[in-house]
Structure formats: C-alpha cells, structure tokens
Amino acid sequence: MSASGTLKWAAPATALALLLAGCSSYHALPLPERPNLTSSLAGLNLQLPPTAPGAAPVTLDPSRPLTPDQVGLLAIANDPDLVAERAKIGVAKADWLSATILPNPSVSAGYAWLLGGPGTTDSFTASISQDIRSILTYQDTVDAAKSRYRAVNADLMWQEWQAAQKARLLAVDIYDDDRTIALRERELGFLSKELKEVHSATEAGNLDLTAEAPLRASEASAEIDLESAKLARLKDWQDLDAILGLRPGARFAVATPEPMALPDDLDHAIATLPVRRPDLVALRLGYQAADTDVRAAILGQFPAFSLGFGGGSDTSSVSSAGPLFTFDLPIFDRNQGKIASARATRVELRAEYQARLDEAEGTARSLIERRAALEADLARAQKAARAAADLSDSAQRAYAAGNLGQRELTDYQTTALDRELDVADDERTLEESSLALFVELGLGLPSVTLALPDQVKEP
C-alpha cells in the first residue's frame, strides 16, 4: 500500500481507537459465595470514624474492654446493613452525573446516486441539531439531582447514627445484664444456704417440714429470675453481634458506661433540630429537590425545540445551506402531567417534613418529662436500697452475736438485694430514656457536622 493510502486510513482508524478508548468496558462482579461474619473483634474494621470535624480516626485495641461509645462507633464501620445502604450513594451520585450531561447533538447525512434524468451528479445532504429545551432546564435538573444526592448522604448519616446508638444501648444493657445476674446469683446463694440449714434442722427433727415450703418457693422463683436475666443477656449479645457483623457467640469485654450529660439549654437543642438532625436535613433536601422539579416542569412547558444547521447539493450541483428548526406544537401536551405530579410531590414532602418535625419535638419533650419522673423514682429507690443495706448490716452483726436466726438474716439480705435490683432496673431505664433523648435531639455520637451545600464535590 502506498504512503498516501496508509495516511488515508490512518485518520479514521485513529479516531475509532480514541472513541473506543473513551467507552466503558464490562467487568464481572460475582456475588459472594459465603457469609462475611467474623468470630472476633480482630476480624472487624477497628478504625473508628472521627467523632468531630478534623479529628483523626482511632484504631481500637481488641484486647481491651470497649466503652459503649466505642461499640457504637464500631457499628458504623461494620454494620452489614449500613454497608448495603452505602451503595445507594453511588446510585445517587450516578443520577447526579447523568443530570450534568446534556443530550448529544443529532447528526444526519444522506447520499443519493444519480440513476437517470437531467441531473449531472449525485446528491447529498447533511445536518446537525441540538435539543434546546434540555439546555433551558439544565440547571434546575442538575440542582434537583444534587439535592437528592445530599439527601441520600444525610439519610445514610441518620441510619449510621441510629445503628451506633442501638449498639451503644445494647452494650449498656449487656453491662447491666452482668450486674443483674451477679445480684440474682447472690440472692440465690443466700436462699440456697438458708434452705440447706433448714433442711438439716428438719431432718434432725428440730423444725417442722412446712418450714421448707416458703424457702423452696422463693428458691424456685429466684432460679426463674436468674434464667430470665441470662436469656435477656444472650439476646442482647446476639443483637449486638448482628449489628457488628460478628458470628453469634462472639464475646468481648464491655467497660463501665460513663454517665450521659444533657445540655443545659434543651429548648435551644429542640429549636435547632431542623439543621442538625440528619433525617430532618434529608427531608429538607428532598423537599428542595422537589421544589426544583416544579421549576423544571414549568420550564418544560416550552415545546420540544431543536436548532441546527444543514446543507447539501442536489443532482444539478446546486449547493445550499441554512439553519434548521424542529419543534412540537403544544396543542395537546403542555407538560401539564409533569407539572401536576411535581407539585403534588412537593406538597407531600412538605407535609411529611412537618409531621416528622412535630414528632421529633413531641417525642423529645415527652422524654424530658419521663426522665424527670425516672430520676425521682431512682432517688427513692436509692434511698430505700441504702436503708435496706443498713438493716442487712445490722442483721449480720446481730446474727454474729447470736441474737438473730439464719432465716431472719436471709430475709434481710434478700430484701437488700431486691432493693439493689430495683436501683439497677431504674438506672437502666433512665439510661435508655437518656439515650433515646440523645437520639431525638441529634446529640451524642457520632458528633459530626453535615456537609454544607458548597462542600459537596462535583461528580
């Protein structure tokens, strides 16, 4: 082939190669063949997300006890449901990318061979045109897609927040379960010791057989309470393992929970809910997208319109060129359907936001009242527990001096333990209510700030 022939084909080949290089290619993504659960903390992602803007991530030591706050942050990094939810960000970002891309210009070309007649040469036509309506609605379409992308991010943050708080609460419950079980075991030990002594006295003929009956009933009740506490702990562990992506049966040490301190100005925390709580922010962004859709739909009343340029040559070698206009006559469809749908969606999202906002404030104020009542109950329970403990100590001294029997001593001791259990139950209920209030007020962990609109990166 001559050099001129090589150059003739080189340009089209190069253009084709460049075109193919810019195209995406298919890569298989097979499904997983086995579960991804791990049997210990060491198999998890132990790098905790930062708890404040600009803070550095922290890597946990799996050999040390974890605080409930750390367990909550660990759930954010490892919850299997959150891993699946994060895939929605990629879909929303792809939709945003699609909205930023204008439709391609339309190109047409034709060639006709002269087969007969007075003509002297073959004819050809060529034109290029661009849809104008897509340009007019471009900015609103992009803004709506951007708002939906931010809404997905905010909604995911809310789900992460809830998963963290659920894991945190389960860690607190497990710590309290261990405490309750220890008290139940002590109570059962007192009753078993008393029953053994009464049984020995009964066999020796010093006591009537009926003396064992109430003790055996109390022992049976204590055994049932102990087993119920162990089952509750097992369920809490199973739920926590599921959130962390651990196999059922995985265990680790939970450190002593730290008391949660609420802010002094709760009214301010409630007033700022719309700009802090991620689910409310997500709804606001969704409404913003719907409002933008209304504007885009109104602009869509402009009929489909294409503007271009075309030209050609006829069989008599007469050449011509000029602008091309193509548009729809808005006789039947004036985009009424899309306008009505966009407006109805906006009204629906506005009502949903108002309902969620009302629910958030109502729930928060109800929890504030409940906490006040629980704090009063806890104070009374603690006072009763101290009095019962003092009586138990006095009974122990009287028993050592021979002025009190074993049965009476056991009654004082079990009563003191029951009072301790009441305190433990009230403390757990107060912790649960406090944590629920933290969630409703958008406080607690993870303490992060939502990205401002101008901080979201373009796709």
Is residue 258 included in any domain, yes or no?
Answer: yes
Q: Which residue would you say has higher pLDDT here, 437 or 201?
A: 437
pLDDT over 70 (residue 19): no
pLDDT of 210 reads 67
Half-sphere exposure of 122 (CA within 13 A, CB side): 6
**Distance of alpha carbon 279 from the chain centroid:** 9
pLDDT of 15 reads 54
The total number of structural domains that make up the chain: 1
Is residue 427 included in any domain, yes or no?
Answer: yes
Question: Could you read off the pLDDT of 222-265 as tens digits, one per residue?
Answer: 899 999 999 999 999 999 999 999 999 899 999 988 877 788 88
Is residue 34 included in any domain, yes or no?
Answer: no
Range of the domain at 230: 62-101+129-307+336-445
Is residue 369 included in any domain, yes or no?
Answer: yes
- Residue the block writes with tokens 């379960």: 177
Is residue 313 included in any domain, yes or no?
Answer: no
Is residue 26 included in any domain, yes or no?
Answer: no
pLDDT over 90 (residue 178): yes
- Residue the block writes with tokens 């009956």: 213
Is residue 152 included in any domain, yes or no?
Answer: yes
pLDDT of 438 reads 85
pLDDT of 16 reads 55
Beta carbons of 154 and 282 less than 8 angstroms apart: yes
Q: What percentage of the chain reaches a pLDDT higher than 90?
A: 24
Half-sphere exposure of 268 (CA within 13 A, CB side): 4
176-190, 297-311, 344-358, 382-396: the lowest-pLDDT one: 297-311
pTM here?
Answer: 0.77
pLDDT of 34 reads 83
CATH number at residue 216: 1.20.1600.10
Written as six digits, the tokens of 313 are 């040559």
**Distance of alpha carbon 233 from the chain centroid:** 25
pLDDT of 162 reads 87
Q: What is the DSSP string of 253-312?
A: -BPPPPPP---S-HHHHHHTHHHH-HHHHHHHHHHHHHHHHHHHHHHTTSPPEEEEEEEE
pLDDT of 12 reads 55
Is residue 317 included in any domain, yes or no?
Answer: no
- Residue the block writes with tokens 């009563």: 415
pLDDT over 70 (residue 207): no
